[in-house]
Structure 1
Amino acid sequence: MSKKNLPVYIAVAVVFAAAGAYLGLHKEQSPVTATAPAGVTTPVAALYQQTLPDAKGVATPLAQYKGKAMLVNFWAPWCGPCVQEMPELSALAAGEEGKKLQVIGIGIDSPSNIAEFSDKYKITYPVLVAGMSGTELSRQFGNSGGGLPYTVLIGADGQVKKTYLGKLKFDELRKDLATL
Structure 2
Amino acid sequence: MNTRRILAGAVVALAAAGGGVLANHWLTRDSDAAYAAQPDTHQGAVQQLWAAPVTSVDGKPQSLSLLKGRPIVVNFWASWCGPCVEEMPELSQIQRDYANKGIQFVGLGVDSEKNIRTFLQKVKVAYPIYVTGFGGADLARTFGNNAGGLPFTVVIDAKGNIRSTKLGQIDPAALRHTLDTL
* TM-score normalized by the length of structure 1: 0.79
Task: Tell whether 2:176 aligns with 1:174.
Answer: yes
Change (3 A) 1:48 1:25: same
Matched with 2:159 is 157
Counterpart of 1:89 in structure 2 is: 91
User: What is the match of residue 77 of structure 1?
Assistant: 79
C-alpha distance in 1 between matches for 2:63 and 2:147: 27
State the 1:134 CA deviation. Answer: 0.2
Q: Name the residue aligned to 1:25.
A: 28
Q: For 1:126 and 1:23, how far apart are their aligned partners in 2? A: 32
Instruction: Indicate how the Cα distance of structure 1 residues 60 and 43 shifts in structure 2: closer, same or farther if over 3 A, else same.
Output: same
User: Compared with structure 1, are the counterparts of its residues 144 and 27 closer, same or farther at alpha carbon in structure 2 (3 Å cutoff)?
Assistant: farther
Gap runs ≥5 in structure 1? 1-19, 37-41
What is the alpha-carbon root mean square deviation over aligned residues? Answer: 2.1
Could you tell me which residue of structure 1 aligns to residue 3 of structure 2?
none
Measure how far apart 1:54 and its partner are: 1.5
Structure 1 outlier segments of 4+, above 3 Å? 20-24, 26-32
Q: Secondary structure at the match of 2:153?
A: strand
Match of 2:137 in 1: 135
Q: Work out whether residues 53 and 63 of structure 2, in 8 Å CA contact, stay in contact via their aligned partners in 1.
A: yes
Could you tell me the percent identity over the aligned residues?
39
Letter in 1 for 2:99: G
Q: Is the contact between residue 21 and residue 166 of structure 1 (CA under 8 Å) also seen in structure 2?
A: no
Which structure is larger by alpha-carbon Rg, 1 or 2?
A: 2
Q: Cα distance, 1:27 vs. partner?
A: 5.5
Structure 2 residue matching 1:113: 3-state secondary structure: helix
Amino acid at match of 1:153: V
- Measured after TM superposition, the shift of residue 50 of structure 1 is 1.9
| Structure 2: distance between partners of 1:159 and 1:178 | 15
Size of the aligned set, in residue pairs, is 155
User: Do the aligned residues in 2 keep the contact of 1:149 with 1:167 (CA within 8 Å)?
Assistant: yes
Q: Are residue 98 (structure 1) and residue 83 (structure 2) matched?
A: no
What is the TM-score normalised by the length of structure 2? 0.78
Q: Is the 8 A contact 1:34 1:159 kept in 2?
A: no
1:28-67: CA deviation from partner (whole Å, max 9, x where unpaired): 768462676xxxxx00000001241121222220000000
